[in-house]
Amino acid sequence: MKNKTSCRTIEILNLSDKELIDLSAKNVLSLSLDEMKSVQPYFRKLKRNPTDVEIETIAQTWSEHCKHKTLTGIIEYTEEKYSKKTKRTYNNLLKETVFKATMELNKKWCLSVFKDNAGIIEFDAKNGVAFKVETHNHPSALEPYGGSATGIGGVIRDILGVGLGAKPLANTDVFCFGNPDTKDSQVPEGMHHPKRIAKGVVAGVRDYGNRMGIPTVNGAVYFDDGYMANPLVYCGTMGIIPKNKIDKKVNSGDLILVVGGRTGRDGIHGATFSSIQLDQESDVSAVQIGNPIVEKKVLDTMLKARDLNLYRAVTDCGAGGLSSAIGELGEKTGAIVYLDKVPLKYDGLVPWEIWISEAQERMVFAVPPKNKKRIVELFKKENVEAVFVGEFTKDKKLTLKYNGHVVASMDMSFLHDGIPKPKRPAVCKIKEEKVQKPIKMTSADLSKTLKSALSDLNVCSKEWIIRQYDHEVQGQTIVKPLQGTDIEVSGPGDASVIFPYTSVNGTKKGVVLSNGLNPSYGKINTYKMAASAIEESLRNAVAVGADVEKMSLLDNFCWGNPNKPEILGSLVRAANACYDMSKAFDIPFISGKDSLHNEYSIGGKKYSIPPALLISAMGVIENAANTVTMPLKNDGNKIFVLGVTRNEIAGSVLAKIKNIKDGIVPVVYPKESKEVMKRIYKAINNGLIESCHDCSEGGLAVAISEMAFAGDKGVKVDIDAIRTKGKLSAAEILFSESNGRFIVEVIPENESKFREIFKSCVFAEVGCVTEDKYVIFESTKNKIKVKEKSRNLLKAWRNTISW
């Protein structure tokens, strides 16, 4: 093979529309007719047909995965509310919503937003912290273990490839799966059973994350049958980077250095395949194969090279492989690459395969010629392969050579800007929500419902997963994902805090990570889903002691087929909620990613997933020691509920358990809740709060129970004391999922100072911590008394997932 050019010419100059489409489909190019028709004139002008290398390069560069062409394209949106229609055209949806809010807020502590591999905010005078969350859905559906392992491996490389490289401090992971108890006969043909997917995905993240020595500290799992054949796998990484290493610039004449793993045939067409629906014919060779130790070696060595200023720019090889990495770095300069110099895992790869392979653990560096010898020696010292494969030019062209022959020659401007803007219609009919009939339940029924809620798949303990991750490696996880006053009990922490004492000498600061996700609201109203996810992520962070003025957000949209107007319309609504909430809370988005085309076909029928917007939040805490956990601490302390409980049952855990169809989806009241959040920060920093827990899935009943069993305590709560809006039944008060609420524990001596801080907010003292280890909810008005042993509730919460 090696002595031949091994490259074919692809006839396109004289193809008809139909032939163009066939060509795109046959070669998994995922290019639309419009796009194919933009390629044709370019080569007509050059008076030749393209090579296979060129066609593949265009397909990768223009892929949904790399270009996000749906959301950067034109969207003609129609919204219908009470049969009144409003229209709006978006020329670039994200720029006009999420990104726009960030620009308008213009926070000076946002150091790098929406332009690099991750968003970066200020940590202290010398350092920034970077955060990125990615999805790896399609690979995980086909090969759960390999798919999720390379998902986490990929997002870690995003952090290594941001600026001149950040040091990873923590990972996050959020999954959506089908019901793990599904009968085999109900699993669609050719698809893996959801439990097998769940186990494989967890094992993949575990083995990769643990071997990288990065603690996996925050996450969530959401079960819904809509994700049966198309699971969602979100992986995130946070890292720390010196402020003077944030900028990168490629100069003409810099050498192109490929470092790390070798190139093989794994992960061919990963980028383009992500724009195609899944079915039983989907090709597993599109999934990459990971080797965490190779990536760990790259991490160990590249940060040394960074600190010695041996390179000018770096990026990771992700989707599209070298084609995307070098194409991106050389966009402004041009580049020449000798494909025969790329180290291969084995012989037999043809040039286009070398160029687009998504083989893992590879980073691309721009190295000034004077550092040529030093940088390679540095890598070699720790057995890391580093090979020069070309250089950045000044001709603004991409030239690829193989064994002396030119196999591709295209203008960078055509590659990056030649893609036609697609135009898509989007519609959204806003469903009217109405309050359900009053939910009346007896004490016994309430007790049973409480246990059902605690053992519900979307509420129950995820300990089986969390403990398989080394969430304490690096020794910096000072607010942990599972929290208990004793090591034998535990409850769900709202957020995790990393105290980076080994990276930043003498620091007192911490980094908080949290998330918000609730697809069940999105089935009814994606605007409210998005708003609630944003608020939930903030609430979670604030509950452990985050300063709400120092928070930043990441968006990850996972949606169905955007060619269906109502699906795209629901996404437009969610994006609008992001803009509105970001502005109202005065909190910027710093990075994001979308994964569309989450659609699968069973027996010829196509299904889209329930839309899922994951919001990940990161913030800097001034004094990491001033953080709190959620377990109740001491008998006799008082329990307060902050915020208003409204009749908001739609999409709730209660609605699922009791099969309630009507109801209002929780609304976000940004002004009201931000006031509460600011004051919690103040109260925590004044030492006035012993424990704090956010109130979300399962409402007050679940949140208070969790605090009790995590502290191995009892608690007595007066339902009648809880502040509500309107008249609610006991069941509605206990299980409503209204946003903006927290439960806090206060020592009696601190009560007056505590009340003083919250005097302008809605709150109430609702009970106290008791020594008898019973959880009691009582209403004299409604003659209700729920009484359960704290340990029994812990059991209900713990036993659902123990595989």
If the CB atoms of residues 104 and 472 are measured against other proteins, the closer one turns out to be 472
Query: Contact between 502 and other proteins (CB under 8 A)?
Result: yes
Query: Contact between 621 and other proteins (CB under 8 A)?
Result: no
Range 17-25, long-range pairs (CB < 8 A, 24+ positions): 24/59
- The enclosing H or E element of 158 equals helix 144-160
- Dig out the tokens for 415 from the structure: 């590659």
Please tell me the distance from the alpha carbon of residue 364 to that of residue 375, in angstroms, as a whole number. Answer: 13
Query: Contact between 469 and other proteins (CB under 8 A)?
Result: yes
Q: Among 473, 504, 602, 667, which residue sits at the site for other proteins (rule: CB under 8 A)? A: 473
Please tell me the distance from the alpha carbon of residue 624 to that of residue 644, in angstroms, as a whole number. Answer: 29
Query: Contact between 397 and other proteins (CB under 8 A)?
Result: no
| Piece of the chain touching other proteins by CB under 8 A; list 99-107, 471-479, 666-674, 791-799 | 471-479
Please tell me the distance from the alpha carbon of residue 803 to that of residue 800, in angstroms, as a whole number. Answer: 9
If the CB atoms of residues 24 and 477 are measured against other proteins, the closer one turns out to be 477
CB of 219 to other proteins, least distance (A): 14
Question: Rounded to the nearest 5 degrees, what angle is found at the Cα of 448, between the Cα atoms of 444 and 452?
Answer: 165
Q: How far is CA 197 from CA 148, 592, 594, 684, in A?
A: 10, 25, 22, 41
**103 contacts: CB under 8 Å, gap ≥ 6:** none
| Piece of the chain touching other proteins by CB under 8 A; list 446-454, 494-502, 558-566, 752-760 | 494-502
Query: Contact between 166 and other proteins (CB under 8 A)?
Result: no
Query: Contact between 467 and other proteins (CB under 8 A)?
Result: yes
If the CB atoms of residues 223 and 469 are measured against other proteins, the closer one turns out to be 469
Please tell me the distance from the alpha carbon of residue 762 to that of residue 221, in angstroms, as a whole number. Answer: 32
**161 contacts: CB under 8 Å, gap ≥ 6:** 117, 314, 315, 316, 363
Query: Contact between 303 and other proteins (CB under 8 A)?
Result: no
- The residue assigned the tokens 């726009």 is 100
CB of 471 to other proteins, least distance (A): 6
Query: Contact between 485 and other proteins (CB under 8 A)?
Result: yes
Q: Which of 68, 136, 138, 597 is catalytic?
A: 136
Query: Contact between 306 and other proteins (CB under 8 A)?
Result: no
Query: Contact between 474 and other proteins (CB under 8 A)?
Result: yes
Q: Among 42, 109, 338, 501, which residue sits at the site for other proteins (rule: CB under 8 A)? A: 501
Note whether 157 and 168 are within 8 A (CB).
no
Query: Contact between 374 and other proteins (CB under 8 A)?
Result: no
Q: Among 21, 46, 105, 478, which residue sits at the site for other proteins (rule: CB under 8 A)? A: 478
Instruction: Find the binding residues for other proteins in span 99-158 (CB under 8 A).
Output: none
DSSP code at position 748: G
If the CB atoms of residues 137 and 291 are measured against other proteins, the closer one turns out to be 291
Please tell me the distance from the alpha carbon of residue 93 to that of residue 74, in angstroms, as a whole number. Answer: 8
Please tell me the distance from the alpha carbon of residue 698 to that of residue 267, in angstroms, as a whole number. Answer: 41
Query: Contact between 292 and other proteins (CB under 8 A)?
Result: yes
CB of 695 to other proteins, least distance (A): 23
- Dig out the tokens for 474 from the structure: 């690096």
| Piece of the chain touching other proteins by CB under 8 A; list 223-231, 329-337, 482-490, 598-606 | 482-490
Question: Annotated catalytic, 138?
Answer: no
CB of 634 to other proteins, least distance (A): 12
DSSP code at position 764: E
Query: Contact between 470 and other proteins (CB under 8 A)?
Result: yes
Q: Among 625, 772, 783, 799, which residue sits at the site for other proteins (rule: CB under 8 A)? A: 625
Binding mask 693-732 for other proteins (x = CB under 8 A): ----------------------------------------
Query: Contact between 421 and other proteins (CB under 8 A)?
Result: no
Other beta carbons less than 10 A from residue 633's beta carbon: 16
- Dig out the tokens for 692 from the structure: 């704090």
Q: Name the residue among 320, 684, 694 with its Cα closest to residue 532.
A: 694
Note whether 268 and 357 are within 8 A (CB).
yes
If the CB atoms of residues 296 and 416 are measured against other proteins, the closer one turns out to be 296
Query: Contact between 297 and other proteins (CB under 8 A)?
Result: yes
Q: Name the residue among 486, 485, 484, 508 with its Cα closest to residue 497.
A: 508
Q: Among 483, 515, 525, 540, which residue sits at the site for other proteins (rule: CB under 8 A)? A: 483
Please tell me the distance from the alpha carbon of residue 574 to that of residue 528, in angstroms, as a whole number. Answer: 8
If the CB atoms of residues 426 and 465 are measured against other proteins, the closer one turns out to be 465
| Piece of the chain touching other proteins by CB under 8 A; list 142-150, 235-243, 287-295, 555-563 | 287-295
In three-state secondary structure terms, 228 is coil
Note whether 252 and 393 are within 8 A (CB).
yes
If the CB atoms of residues 262 and 312 are measured against other proteins, the closer one turns out to be 262
Q: Among 119, 139, 321, 484, which residue sits at the site for other proteins (rule: CB under 8 A)? A: 484
- The residue assigned the tokens 């070309």 is 390
Query: Contact between 377 and other proteins (CB under 8 A)?
Result: no
CB of 517 to other proteins, least distance (A): 23
**46 contacts: CB under 8 Å, gap ≥ 6:** none
- Dig out the tokens for 427 from the structure: 């519609």
Query: Contact between 360 and other proteins (CB under 8 A)?
Result: no
The number of CA neighbours under 13 Å toward the Cβ of 149 is 26
Q: Among 307, 472, 662, 772, which residue sits at the site for other proteins (rule: CB under 8 A)? A: 472
Q: What is the b/e burial string over 110-123, where b = at least 16 CB atoms within 10 angstroms of the residue's CB?
A: bbbbbebbbbbbbb
**759 contacts: CB under 8 Å, gap ≥ 6:** none
Query: Contact between 468 and other proteins (CB under 8 A)?
Result: yes
Query: Contact between 488 and other proteins (CB under 8 A)?
Result: yes
CB of 627 to other proteins, least distance (A): 9
| Piece of the chain touching other proteins by CB under 8 A; list 20-28, 207-215, 437-445, 645-653 | 207-215
| Piece of the chain touching other proteins by CB under 8 A; list 294-302, 533-541, 568-576, 598-606 | 294-302
Please tell me the distance from the alpha carbon of residue 327 to that of residue 336, in angstroms, as a whole number. Answer: 10
The distance between the two most distant Cα atoms of the chain, rounded to a whole number of Å, is 88
Q: Among 471, 564, 679, 798, which residue sits at the site for other proteins (rule: CB under 8 A)? A: 471
CB of 727 to other proteins, least distance (A): 41
- Dig out the tokens for 740 from the structure: 């903006």
Please tell me the distance from the alpha carbon of residue 72 to that of residue 67, in angstroms, as a whole number. Answer: 8
Instruction: Find the binding residues for other proteins in span 631-650 (CB under 8 A).
Output: 631
**45 contacts: CB under 8 Å, gap ≥ 6:** none
Question: Annotated catalytic, 136?
Answer: yes
CB of 629 to other proteins, least distance (A): 8
Please tell me the distance from the alpha carbon of residue 587 to that of residue 672, in angstroms, as a whole number. Answer: 15
In three-state secondary structure terms, 525 is coil
If the CB atoms of residues 511 and 664 are measured against other proteins, the closer one turns out to be 511
Q: How far is CA 435 from CA 546, 695, 696, 751, in A?
A: 34, 21, 19, 36
In three-state secondary structure terms, 476 is coil
Query: Contact between 291 and other proteins (CB under 8 A)?
Result: yes
If the CB atoms of residues 19 and 382 are measured against other proteins, the closer one turns out to be 382
If the CB atoms of residues 32 and 291 are measured against other proteins, the closer one turns out to be 291
Q: Among 499, 640, 681, 758, which residue sits at the site for other proteins (rule: CB under 8 A)? A: 499
Please tell me the distance from the alpha carbon of residue 593 to that of residue 227, in angstroms, as a whole number. Answer: 19
If the CB atoms of residues 381 and 783 are measured against other proteins, the closer one turns out to be 381
Query: Contact between 213 and other proteins (CB under 8 A)?
Result: yes
If the CB atoms of residues 109 and 464 are measured against other proteins, the closer one turns out to be 464
**What amino acid positions are annotated as catalytic residues?**
65, 136
Residues that bind other proteins (CB under 8 A): 206, 210-213, 291-293, 296-297, 300, 381-383, 466-478, 480, 483-488, 499, 501-503, 624-625, 629, 631
